[in-house]
């Protein structure tokens, strides 16, 4: 038997992201032991029953000194606090990575709270979101052929980046690299904005007196457009706040775009409407999700 990549992995947050990472590494025999921490004792018990973790941890000092890898897989709003709590106990060789959907804020938090360990903190964002959450939605194949973006820091050595990259590749992911700022701008446009727009549409309809009538006639277009409006409110509150600057720019752009559409409609400018729809259709039809 070859030696596993990691002897001990410690995961904070054993839900969809953290739980699936653990299941994938365990299935590949890439880890001897997975220890879980989390806010909910019940979730940790469930995660153990589901074979996600070997056991739940209780003593940070006891668990972190000999950990090979720590994954922070909580909503981004909790990461600063967890970083501050784990920093005193991390081993001299412990790698740290995360699964946060935003990167500039997590990197800022890391410079502040993980300063002594910053060379071993390799930020990551697995693009495997789902409107589902919780340990029960974790799956060993969640990352299969999904993109994971690393946003390495200047302080990271090539070796540490390669090791974290390998962990995600063992999970089946296609790993690429961006700077934290590039990452946040890209995801404000293609992920965070669409989530806000979808939440906004359903919230708008939810306020109506005739809501039930409206929803009874909603069909497949509505179904797909609003699938992401069933996502975790807490997670998306945190993402929105964490990527506020880039997201405000995207919202501004989008509202101008709507203003253009509204004017074209108010003026019954069919050519303008058709031009906008045609460009959109052409780009969307040529795009395929990887």
84 binds a copy of itself (CB under 8 A): no
Structure tokens at 101: 């959907």
String of b and e for 102-126 (b: at least 16 CB within 10 Å)?
bbbbbbebbeebbeebbebbbbbbb
The footprint of a copy of itself on residues 230-269 (CB under 8 A) is 230-234, 236-238, 240-241, 244, 247-248, 251-255, 257-259, 261-262, 265-266, 268
Kindly tell me which of 66 and 274 has the beta carbon lying closer to a copy of itself.
274
The footprint of a copy of itself on residues 2-41 (CB under 8 A) is none
CA–CA separation, 164 vs 168, rounded Å?
Answer: 7
Q: Which stretch binds a copy of itself (CB under 8 A): 103-111, 154-162, 163-171, 218-226?
A: 218-226
CA–CA separation, 23 vs 29, rounded Å?
Answer: 10
195 binds a copy of itself (CB under 8 A): yes
The answer to whether residues 169 and 145 touch, using CB atoms and an 8 Å cutoff, is no
Q: Which stretch binds a copy of itself (CB under 8 A): 39-47, 60-68, 103-111, 203-211?
A: 203-211
Q: Which stretch binds a copy of itself (CB under 8 A): 1-9, 38-46, 87-95, 225-233?
A: 225-233
Kindly tell me which of 160 and 232 has the beta carbon lying closer to a copy of itself.
232
Site string for a copy of itself, 139-158 (x = CB under 8 A): -------xx-x---------
Dihedral sign, Cα of residue 85, residue 87, residue 89, residue 95: positive
Number of residues engaging a copy of itself in binding (CB under 8 A): 87
Q: Which stretch binds a copy of itself (CB under 8 A): 33-41, 51-59, 90-98, 186-194?
A: 186-194
């Amino acid at each position: 038997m070859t030696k596993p990549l990691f002897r001990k992995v410690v995961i904070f947050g054993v839900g969809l992201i953290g739980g699936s990472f653990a299941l994938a590494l365990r299935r590949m025999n890439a880890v001897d032991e997975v220890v879980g921490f989390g806010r909910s004792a019940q979730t940790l018990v469930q995660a153990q029953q589901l074979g996600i973790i070997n056991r739940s941890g209780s003593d940070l000092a006891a668990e972190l000194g000999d950990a090979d890898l720590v994954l922070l897989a909580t909503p981004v709003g909790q990461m600063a606090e967890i970083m501050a709590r784990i920093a005193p106990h991390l081993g001299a060789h412990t790698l740290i990575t995360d699964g946060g959907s935003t990167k500039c804020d997590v990197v800022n938090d890391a410079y502040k709270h993980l300063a002594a360990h910053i060379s071993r903190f390799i930020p990551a964002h697995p693009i495997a979101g789902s409107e589902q959450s919780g340990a029960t939605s974790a799956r060993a194949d969640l990352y299969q052929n999904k993109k994971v973006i690393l946003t390495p820091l200047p302080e990271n050595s090539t070796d540490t980046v390669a090791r974290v990259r390998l962990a995600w590749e063992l999970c089946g992911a296609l790993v690429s690299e961006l700077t934290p700022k590039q990452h946040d701008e890209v995801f404000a446009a293609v992920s965070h904005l669409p989530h806000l727009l979808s939440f906004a549409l359903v919230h708008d309809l939810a306020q109506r007196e005739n809501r039930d009538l409206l929803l009874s006639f909603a069909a497949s277009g509505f179904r797909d457009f609003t699938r992401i409006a069933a996502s975790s409110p807490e997670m998306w509150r945190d993402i929105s706040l964490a990527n506020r600057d880039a997201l405000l720019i995207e919202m501004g752009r989008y509202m101008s775009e709507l203003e253009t559409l509204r004017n074209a409609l108010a003026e019954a400018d069919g050519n303008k409407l058709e031009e906008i729809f045609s460009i959109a259709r052409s780009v969307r039809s040529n795009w395929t999700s990887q």
